[in-house]
Chain A
Amino acid sequence: MSSAHTKTEHGHADHNYLNHGSGIWSWMTTLDHKRIGLMYFATVATLFLIGGFFALGIRLHLAKFGAEPLLDPDTYNKFMTFHGAIMVFMVIIPGIPAFLGNFVLPIQLGAKDVAFPRLNLASYYIFIAGAAIAASSMIFNQVDTGWTFYTPYSTAKTSNGVILLVLGAFTMGFSSILTGLNFIVTTHKLRAPGMTMDRIPLMIWALYSTSIIQILATPILAITLLLIGAEKTLGVGIFDPDLGGDPVLFQHFFWFYSHPAVYIMILPAMGVISELITAFSKKTIFGYRAIAYSSVAIAAVSFLVWGHHMFVSGQSTIAGIVFSIITMFVGVPTAIKLFNWISTMYRGTVTFEAPMLFALGFMFLFTIGGLTGVFLASTGMDVHFHDTYFVVAHFHYVMVGGTLMALMGGILYWFPKMFGRMTSDLGGRISWVLIFTGFNVTFFPQFVLGAMGMPRRYFDYLPEYTNLNQISTVGSWLIGLGFLVGLITIIHGIFKGEKATDNPWGAKTLEWQTSSPPPHENFINTPTVTAGPYDFR
């Protein structure tokens, strides 16, 4: 930002938010959004390792290397459920907003903190409580429903562990709502002088749109999960056909949240990518308003497309056609973003540091995921692909290839600001090569498997599918290795990385105008903003 007169005085450079208080207690009770962000980081990373363990277990089982199957069918279903539930509710949904968003949003706005710091800390502990309740179902009463808890299986047939998992997800939803609420009020009320809504960085537009979805969609999930709990404990029958209820109503309720939730996962990722692309192209972003408003457009359309999860559930043909058409609308704002990023790179001074590689990886993988999404949005093709590995490959390309790529890129990009040190660029690049290659090796064969008709969620398959499944499993090890290298790079960076300057990437947004790491209240003097967020030339 051209006018930020926020130059840090050197006397203050050694006093920052990391050493503002010391001891574990000062972290546990901190109201500083930056520290809360890092606490989310540690938590989400741990949960990611657990979710990844289940993923590798599933893949190893499906490779059928030995004569004996690795998992028995029951355990396989439980692995699948915990992989899905952990990755969706505890990693990808909170990953970028709660961790990167918490760290970056107030600094990018030029604010001292989020609007409700105490609520922010409470959201973190509510999240921990939710994760603990959900995780306790791993010990006491394992769940085998899949992360979607489809009725009537989840309410009438399977174990009571569902109650724990559902209650955990409900609690984490609470945390999600409170974080979203906090971000919206912060964006409305705490912008620095001169920071008008058309000068806020695109990351914030993305987080703002995400927060709207969090506030409007999560309550529906809350009531749906409560009804599952009520169904299991009281037998109220709303979703139970035995009692006159309708399981398809559950699917409507569930996807009314869970489809918008897909955009809770991907919109912040798109925000991260917007930041990375301009910073590493050294060029003013092309089409600021188009990118900003397309985030809001995606948020708006996200509420009207849930029915595409139910093309084969017996809903009417008209409903199917309408949902199909509206679903394809999502492609429009998404493509607007993609073309704007490409136009930004065009004739820019593009450099390929590790974060930029992750951004490019995002664009490549997300495009494949998005285009195959159009296949699935067409009712005719969806009937063929429904519940096959094609769907599995599609949503992994979108959610993992999209969100996790952006998450890794974002961590490496903001790392100097978080810890005042640089990560090894080589380490980041090796991690990228492994994740990117491994990702394609894992999931591309699954498109083929799906087209060949291999159903998803199954414990076993026909011999024709063996080779592709084995390739896929080898790919999953590459991904695992890539994240391991990434983790080592990050840990090495925290302790041994070379000292970072205030603005190592030469970026223009406000967070780079303060010291690395920032002082407790982000800026020594509140910045005044006089121009847009990406004025490179």
Chain B
Amino acid sequence: MTSVSSSSEFQHQHHFKSAEHQYASSKQGIWLFLCTEILMFGGLFVGYLIYHSLYPTVFKNGSETLDWKMGAVNTVVLLVSSFTMAAAINYVQRGLHKIAAIMLALTIACAGAFMVIKYFEYSHKFHVGTVPGKFSLVDPTCGAGGKRAECESKISALLKNPVELEKNHVSAEEVTRLKAVISQPKWEMFYGFYFVMTGLHGIHVVAGALLIFWIFIKTLRRKVGPEYYTPVEGVGLFWHVVDLVWIYLFPLLYLVG
């Protein structure tokens, strides 16, 4: 890491001794915040672990209905974005504002690509009815008091209708998988976790993209540079954590059946 020089035009805040002092403090603050992010997802991972052990078949069948190819592409997209983010930090530190801005724009583009792929995944799930809890039933008012088994789910309604299957691009292979899913009681549990975990992660991706946009503007206006790049590095660290969480989510949800 290049050291921060306090001799330039950048003025550190009044209550710090020097720019280095301010930089070290800010960095500590960001890391502490990232700990809380990890712990928050930690709660979900604990829940996933418990229910995976309670309902192994539900999680196996559910996992097989996810499109691992889309998940893998998204993993690559996020890894690339982590690289461009790291490169952007490096370029800002070296004062190469133009290429730094390009890198940041690429990172935002990756975040966008990630969300677009997520959109296709989600909308397919909505169509075939592999959704959590109350939305999985044809009649959402049915099933109160634990009698969900007597209600018809969206999947079984869909499976009866060849026209709808055709329209929603459901292959014969997927039909077998969907049948396997609804063969188990409490099958909605897997999708509860899938949507909460990927949904919360998706919100973080959007938040991260907005933060990167803020940094992008700062870079274009040359508010950051070799003498002051704390916000760039902070947002970068946040982005890496968003990436890291996905690195765990992808195998857990898509691959570990």
Chain A positions near chain B (C-beta within 8 angstroms) = 111-113, 115-117, 119, 177-178, 181-182, 184-185, 188-190, 215-216, 218-220, 222-224, 226-227, 230-231, 234-238, 240-246, 249, 253, 521
Beta-carbon contact of B189 and A243 below 8 Å: yes
Given A219-B39, A219-B43, A181–B33 Cβ distance below 8 Å? yes
| Residues on A with beta carbons closer than 8 Å to the beta carbon of B33 | 177-178, 181
Interface pairs (29), CB distance under 8 Å? A115-B15, A115-B26, A115-B29, A116-B26, A116-B29, A117-B13, A178-B33, A184-B32, A188-B28, A189-B25, A215-B32, A219-B36, A220-B39, A223-B42, A234-B132, A234-B133, A235-B135, A236-B132, A236-B193, A236-B196, A237-B189, A242-B146, A242-B148, A243-B133, A243-B186, A245-B51, A245-B189, A249-B47, A249-B50
Interchain CB contact under 8 A, B28 and A240 = no
User: How far, in angstroms, from A218 to B195 measured CA to CA in the complex?
Assistant: 23
Give A16 to B170 CA distance when docked, in angstroms.
72
Chain B residue at minimal CB-CB distance from A115: B25
Q: Which of B28, B50, B134, B191 contacts A185 (CB 8 A)?
A: B28
Residues on A with beta carbons closer than 8 Å to the beta carbon of B200? 226
Minimum CB–CB distance from B36 to chain A (whole Å) comes to 4
- A222 with B40: in contact, given A238-B193, A244-B185 (CB under 8 Å)? yes
Q: Closest residue of chain B to A116, judged by CB?
A: B29
Instruction: Find out whether the CB atom of B192 lies under 8 angstroms from the CB atom of A238.
Output: yes
What's the Cα separation between A238 and B54 when bound, in Å? 12
Query: Size band of the B side of the interface?
Result: 35 or more
Q: Would you call B32 and A223 a contact (CB within 8 A)?
A: no
Contacts of A190 in B (CB 8 A): 15-16, 25
**A234 near B14 (CB under 8 angstroms)?**
no
Residue in B55, B131, B132 whose Cβ sees the most chain A Cβ within 10 Å: B132
Query: Are B36's CB and A237's CB within 8 A?
Result: no
A29 to B41, CA, bound (A): 33
Report B14-46 residues with CB < 8 Å from chain A CB. Answer: 14-16, 21, 24-26, 28-29, 32-33, 35-37, 39-44
Alpha-carbon distance A18/B42, docked complex (angstroms): 44
Which residues from B are CB-within-8-Å of A223?
40-44
Interface residues of B (CB under 8 A from A): 13-16, 21, 24-26, 28-29, 32-33, 35-37, 39-44, 47, 50-51, 54-55, 131-135, 143-146, 148, 185-186, 188-189, 191-193, 195-196, 200
| Contact indicator B195/A113 (Cβ below 8 Å) | no
Which residue of B26, B43, B54, B188 contacts A237 across the interface (Cβ within 8 Å)? B188
B192 in complex: contacting residue of A112, A216, A236, CB < 8 Å: A236
A118 to chain B, nearest CB (A): 9
**B28 nearest CB across to chain A (Å):** 5
From A184, A215, A224, A235, residue with most partner B Cβ within 10 Å = A235
Q: Specify the chain B residue showing the minimal Cβ separation from A180.
A: B32
Is there contact, CB below 8 Å, between A253 and B43?
yes
- Given contacts A111-B15, A238-B47, A243 and B40 within 8 Å (CB-CB): no
B44 with A240: CB separation less than 8 A: no
Residue numbers in A under 8 Å from B131 (CB-CB): 234
Is A224 in contact with B43, judged by CB distance below 8 angstroms? yes
Chain B residues within 8 Å of A230, by CB? 192, 196
Q: Would you call A181 and B37 a contact (CB within 8 A)?
A: no
How close is B47's CB to chain A, nearest CB, in angstroms? 6
